[in-house]
Chain A
Amino acid sequence: MVVPKICGLETEYGITHRGAEESNPITASSLLINAYLSGLQHAPGSPIARVEWDFEDEMPGRDARGVGGGDIGYEPETHLVNAVLTNGSRYYVDHAHPEISGPECADARSAVVWDRAADVIARRSMEAARALLPEGQELVVYKNNSDGKGNSYGCHENYLMDRATPFGRIVVGATPHFVTRQIFCGAGKVGTEAAGVERFSVPFQLSQRADFFEEEVGLETTLKRPIVNTRDEPHADARHYRRLHVIVGDANLAEVATFLKVGTTALVLALVEHDLFPDDLCLAAPVQAIRAVSCDLSLRQPFRLADGTSATALDVQWELLERCAKYCHDVGTEAVGGAVADEVLARWETVLTQLETDPLSPATTVDWVAKYRLLDAYRSRNGCDWSDSRLQALDLQYHDLRPERSVADRLALERLVDAEEVRWATENPPPDTRAYFRGRCLQQFASHVVAANWDSVVFDLGGETLRRVPMMEPARGTRQHVASLFDECQTPADLIGRLQQ
């Protein structure tokens, strides 16, 4: 079975409440999201009623390895704000952070569009909250993954996979990529937060997240984080699909970095599904390697492989690129985004060539490079060392989403998508996955939608029971499948009647 690599990004944003004497991150996150939702409901001509998330299929404790130890000690927080947006995404308070889980996307380019849309939604939320707060107070949102004090929060990726692929094989294939892809998708960080290591013994590293990974494989997401996460919650027909939940990555400001993060991972996972992954890329010690790669700005330090040889991150990435190019040539690009996969291969080759020639050359496409160049130049000009507060402040402000304080906005990062398309994507779902069905239901019949989640929409048609419409096939319910159906239906009862035919 060829399973399309449908993917989605979920971003936990950092949040601060400035100007307040006391602040609580859960209250601040709730205020941020409610301010945005309230603004939507009061917009002139808005069709939007507030639709809550449906927790029916939440099972974060189920383990893909099928072994015990399923209790990870937390339950979904059903009492906090948790909404579904017309663009197919979920906007909610997750633990102590605002989180936007983007809609299902058919390819890496689409993932970039809706990731940027999420950032625009977060920006609008800050503006909406500013209007509600007393003079001198504001909520500020950061798209990063660490506070520099040992606390991390994630930017997770999700990829649809074939249930028939044994999980052990996924671990073998995904691990070398997750350890080494940070050379182009790391977001960069001043210092280290690894336990027991002096903070500035590492002046700067490639990844925000690498310090926080302590296991090779596991179910945890908040402590003893594993490089490969085993959460088994397919949000789709579990007989055919699994959803690989990836927790190892950084949130990116550079669109090319997001594009490469998602695009290369989709290709590597397709390789795994076709059993074409090279068996000589197993790492001897992945946890040590992920940290060593993150701390090596020269990209020249080798790590040991399981077969006793050694390789650098660039060696592994060149090998994976070659295999993925061969896969696309031999098998085709149908499952990995069609023409988008060709662009992924081209940009992958470009970035590896640049990194090999001069690691600091991809300055407009790789976040850690853009950040490092600025901070190092600032350090030179001001004669300060890496522990200077101003460098740490610039590090944090790289990820500040306020236009007046954003450092990333000032670094001329290359854009792959234009602002108008992103603005459109804040209100509209991707056309080529089931997110289209979810989004259209909310755009057209929000006042009759009681709740929605990844794999169903629940309607109240006024009868005695609610009507759940299942969406167990992530590639169905696209614009091509259902646009004319929605155009022809005047009421939700029409829609459900037609769906039952």
Chain B
Amino acid sequence: MAERERIQKSSRPSAESVQEEETRAASPTGDRLKAELDDLLDEIDEVLETNAEEFVNSYIQKGGQ
């Protein structure tokens, strides 16, 4: 049941998803974490590698245990 809810949610428009996140995270800790996550999203593109696709494609690690 929980799995089905999650799949449905991911197909909704993003604004609605954000609203639902807010409803769900009703505890004070949840609110604080949500606010911190929003702040982080505002700056995360500056942390993200400039050319994400090239970076991901060139990340190859052979020969591990």
Which A residues contact B (CB, under 8 angstroms)? 12, 14-16, 25, 94-97, 145-149, 151-154, 156, 203, 221-222, 247, 296-298, 300-301, 358, 361, 363-364, 373-374, 377-383, 389-390, 392-394, 396-397, 404-405, 407, 410-412
Q: A14-B61, A154-B64 are in contact. Are A377 and B21 (CB under 8 A)?
A: yes
Inter-chain contact B52/A392, CB cutoff 8 Å? yes
Complex CA distance for A373 and B21, rounded to whole angstroms: 10
A298 and B1 CA atoms in complex are apart in Å by 9
Q: 22 pairs across A/B with beta carbons < 8 Å? A: A14-B59, A25-B63, A95-B64, A96-B61, A145-B64, A149-B59, A153-B63, A153-B64, A203-B10, A222-B64, A300-B1, A300-B3, A364-B33, A374-B37, A379-B10, A380-B14, A381-B18, A389-B52, A390-B48, A390-B52, A393-B49, A393-B52
Closest B residue to A147 by beta carbon equals B61
CB contacts (< 8 Å) of B62 on chain A: these are 25, 96, 151
CA of A374 to CA of B65 in the docked complex: distance in angstroms? 29
The 8 Å CB contact of B49, one of A146, A380, A397, is: A397
The docked-state distance in angstroms from the alpha carbon of A96 to that of B59 is 14
Instruction: Known pairs A96-B61, A151-B62, A381-B14; list 16 more (Cβ under 8 Å).
Output: A12-B64, A12-B65, A14-B59, A16-B58, A97-B61, A147-B59, A148-B59, A153-B61, A203-B10, A361-B30, A379-B10, A392-B52, A393-B56, A394-B48, A411-B40, A412-B36
* A301: min CB distance to chain B, Å: 7
- Mask, B27-49, CB within 8 Å of A = 1, is 00010010011101100100111
- In the complex, A358→B33 CA distance in Å? 14
Interface residues of B (CB under 8 A from A): 1-3, 6, 10, 13-14, 17-18, 21, 24, 30, 33, 36-38, 40-41, 44, 47-49, 52-53, 55-56, 58-65
Closest chain A CB from B32 CB (angstroms):
9
The total number of A-B Cβ pairs within 8 Å is: 116
Enumerate chain B residues within 8 angstroms of A382, measured Cβ to Cβ.
14
Residue contact A298 to B2, C-beta cutoff 8 Å: yes
Contacts of B44 in A (CB 8 A): 374, 378, 394, 407, 410
Shortest distance from the beta carbon of A254 to any chain B beta carbon, whole Å: 14
* Assembled-state Cα–Cα distance A152/B37 (Å): 29
Which 7 pairs, one residue from A and one from B, show the smallest C-beta to C-beta distance? A153-B64, A96-B63, A393-B52, A389-B53, A298-B2, A147-B61, A95-B63
> How far is A142 from B16 in the complex, measured between Cα atoms in Å?
35
